Structure 1
Amino acid sequence: MGKIGEKLDIDFVVSTGDNFYDNGLTGLNDQAFEESFTKIYTATSLQKQWYSVLGNHDYRGDVEAQVHPALRKVDSRWLCLRSFILNAEIAGFFFVDTTPFVSDYFTDMDHTYDWRGVTPRKAYLDSLLKDLESALSESTARWKIVVGHHAIKSAGYHGDTKELIDLLLPMLKAYNVDMYVNGHDHCLEHISSLDSPIQYLTSGAGSKAWRGDLNQHYKEEDLRFFYDGQGFMSVQLTKNDAEITFYNAFGKILHEWKALKELHSAV
């Protein structure tokens, strides 16, 4: 990852959540922050700003610690918030806190979740969606990219997230979002449906991967790429062009996709 970052001269890094396994951080002084972040991503090219969303495993720990500004004093690269917007000139990145959307977590008796700041849930989701719609409608970015932890569409172990299909996807379609990027499933994949120009990109294999967990219900023409090993992805954008590349853990290119914004076509 560091070598590819150097080759591409990256501007920043995006983390799709589940930043600290298995149960998030225990507090601001949890050594897991440095052991799992600062001391791991040491390559020169990765000394850029990191933008992170929360995953369901992060919610099993102290969420308020993970989003607290004090962690930025420990490592200035770290920026993790519940939902936020990054205006990167030609691109707008809209980070969404997807864990509270998933109903099953609120009835999970096997784990404890930190719902401070989320309950009452309906009010939280209504506010989140209202703010996102406002941001998407006002955005003049050439490219609109939404980032969340859970997949909208996935051929991996967890599969599609019904709540996001019902509540989030209609908004992404209405405001011409180009890409939805997520983690959660421990694989790399690219799904492109015929009913929408949105590219669904899963990058959840940065730490571990689940071998053989391919959900066969996706049609071959929709599932453009699936890899059940470790790896990561890059996104390169110009005013009229986008290039998405998936790599394995050793930096070997596994899949490439290019789009021409001006022509509204992809190859």
Structure 2
Amino acid sequence: MASCTNWAAHKLVHAWLLAALLVTLLTLSPSLSAPACGVLATVEHPVEAGRPLRLLVVGDWGRKGRYNQSRVAQQMGKVAEAMNNIDFVVSTGDNFLDDGLASVDDRAFHESFVDVYTAESLRKQWYLVLGNHDYRGDVLAQIDPALRSIDSRFFCMRSFVVKAGTVDFFFVDTTPFQLKYWTDPGEDHYDWREVAPREAYIEHLLETRRYNYLDTLGIRLNSGSATELTWKVAVGHHTMRSVSAHGDTQELLQLLLPVLKDNGVDLYINGHDHCLEHISSRDSPIQYLTSGAGSKAWRGIFQPNEDKLEFFYDGQGFMSLEVDAGLAHAVFYDIDGQALHNRSLSKSNRQHVDQAPSLVSQE
């Protein structure tokens, strides 16, 4: 096996996985572990003993409060308060629409994030992945730790791991997987710094399979730190399975899904489609949960796929997730805070159990 030094000398050292992570190590919080060669950076998020992990999930939101973003944010605050102290918020990407941030000084950071999610109950850590619209701006600005000096909640990197009690979250930067962004971007510009060339990356990914992204993820998923009852949740921007406008993402089905299946991932959570969805895999225990309805929605498109559709809502909203060692409870909410769909999932047998009541009573 080539040494880390030899690998670092390889022409792919500037590729998209570790470059952004390594650049930020010196300025990140002490809870971030520096990655060994070929291993993702890891955040240890403390969870109070004896209580489940509680979080909210929202995506495709950054529109300076417009398109009902502010209404969704208001209901997120109410639900977070009713859940009695959430641990953090997950963003599934497209954090600043339509064209990302122009710089670390871009007022859109305040107008779409700081000044919108103002509820005291939302003043928790936010873990964010990048979406394709984020890549249309200065992507290095959005992952710059300088933003955390403006608002300490904002934690955005390309790909990383968050360990929180009985749950390991694997945040995946899915935009570089999409071939059309490289070959047919139209009038859009994508900031591929520290990512290009994709061709070399894909060749390295499929042929050498040593230090590519998927094997890195596999190393982490198979690490000895995970117990049988540790939930494994992958978070990316792009849909794996979806019945809405974007539909399934073939590159992820071909390249990423086999790794998730092989390593016992329980949930894949994404945005990209501006809706709320729950889809069950027919050939594995994986559940696909879409929460990309943080602002503009109502696309009016429905296109079934091969897996089992459990729930679909074309409007705005968000999702809550509560997890302990045995059960995970997911609830989808609309902009009035009404629970539209809830489901409990069993970890011991990794299959559906009877539907549970809403995590938060609605009055």
Unpaired runs of at least 5, structure 1: none
- Partner amino acid, structure 2, of 1:77: R
1:176 alignment partner, one of 264, 274, 280: 264
- Partner amino acid, structure 1, of 2:191: D
Q: After the TM superposition, which of the residue ranges 117-126 and 228-237 deviates more from structure 2?
A: 117-126
Q: Which structure's residues are more often strand, by fraction?
A: 1
The aligned runs of 1:145-164 (5 Å cut-off) are 145-164=233-252
- In terms of Rg, which structure is larger? 2
Paired residue for 2:198? 121
Q: Are 1:15 and 2:91 an aligned pair?
A: yes
| Cα distance in 1 between the residues matched to 2:200 and 2:90 | 28
Paired residue for 1:264? 350
Per the alignment, in what secondary structure is the counterpart of residue 222 of structure 2? helix
Per the alignment, in what secondary structure is the counterpart of residue 165 of structure 1? helix
| Cα distance in 2 between the residues matched to 1:131 and 1:122 | 19
2:147 alignment partner, one of 71, 77, 83: 71
2:290 alignment partner, one of 202, 215, 232: 202
Cα distance change, pair 118–239 in 1 and its aligned pair in 2 (3 A) = same
Unpaired runs of at least 5, structure 2: 1-75, 206-211, 354-363
Per the alignment, in what secondary structure is the counterpart of residue 163 of structure 1? helix
Per the alignment, in what secondary structure is the counterpart of residue 331 of structure 2? strand
1:237 alignment partner, one of 323, 343, 360: 323
| Cα distance in 1 between the residues matched to 2:261 and 2:299 | 32
- Partner amino acid, structure 2, of 1:265: Q
Deviation digits for residues 37-84 of structure 1 (CA, Å, limit 9, x no counterpart): 000000011000000000000000000000000000000000000000
Paired residue for 2:64? none
Q: In the alignment, is the contact (CA less than 8 A) between 2:245 and 2:299 conserved in 1? A: no
| Cα distance in 2 between the residues matched to 1:226 and 1:24 | 28
Deviation digits for residues 66-103 of structure 1 (CA, Å, limit 9, x no counterpart): 00000000000000000000000200000000000000
Q: After the TM superposition, which of the residue ranges 8-17 and 256-265 deviates more from structure 2?
A: 256-265
Paired residue for 1:56? 132
Higher relative contact order (CA 8 A, sep 6+): 2
- Partner amino acid, structure 2, of 1:218: N
Per the alignment, in what secondary structure is the counterpart of residue 185 of structure 1? coil
| Cα distance in 2 between the residues matched to 1:260 and 1:170 | 22
- Of all paired residues, the percent bearing the same amino acid is 58
Per the alignment, in what secondary structure is the counterpart of residue 115 of structure 1? coil
1:112 alignment partner, one of 165, 189, 193: 189
- Partner amino acid, structure 2, of 1:225: F
| Cα distance in 2 between the residues matched to 1:263 and 1:170 | 20
| Cα distance in 2 between the residues matched to 1:234 and 1:123 | 39
Q: In the alignment, is the contact (CA less than 8 A) between 2:245 and 2:301 conserved in 1? A: yes
**1:263 Cα deviation from its structure 2 partner:** 3.4
**1:109 Cα deviation from its structure 2 partner:** 2.6
Per the alignment, in what secondary structure is the counterpart of residue 266 of structure 1? coil
Paired residue for 1:218? 305
| Cα distance in 2 between the residues matched to 1:223 and 1:191 | 5
- Partner amino acid, structure 1, of 2:156: C
Per the alignment, in what secondary structure is the counterpart of residue 202 of structure 1? strand
Per the alignment, in what secondary structure is the counterpart of residue 235 of structure 1? strand
| Cα distance in 2 between the residues matched to 1:101 and 1:265 | 29
Q: Are 1:80 and 2:161 an aligned pair?
A: no
Q: After the TM superposition, which of the residue ranges 204-213 and 231-240 deviates more from structure 2?
A: 204-213
- Partner amino acid, structure 2, of 1:6: E
1:5 alignment partner, one of 54, 75, 80: 80
Deviation digits for residues 145-186 of structure 1 (CA, Å, limit 9, x no counterpart): 000000110001000000000000000000010000000000
| Cα distance in 2 between the residues matched to 1:28 and 1:148 | 23
What's the TM-score, normalizing by structure 2?
0.71
| Cα distance in 2 between the residues matched to 1:260 and 1:196 | 14
Q: After the TM superposition, which of the residue ranges 114-123 and 100-109 deviates more from structure 2?
A: 114-123
- Partner amino acid, structure 1, of 2:150: V
| Cα distance in 1 between the residues matched to 2:299 and 2:253 | 26
Q: After the TM superposition, which of the residue ranges 162-171 and 101-110 deviates more from structure 2?
A: 101-110
Per the alignment, in what secondary structure is the counterpart of residue 214 of structure 2? helix
**1:122 Cα deviation from its structure 2 partner:** 4.4
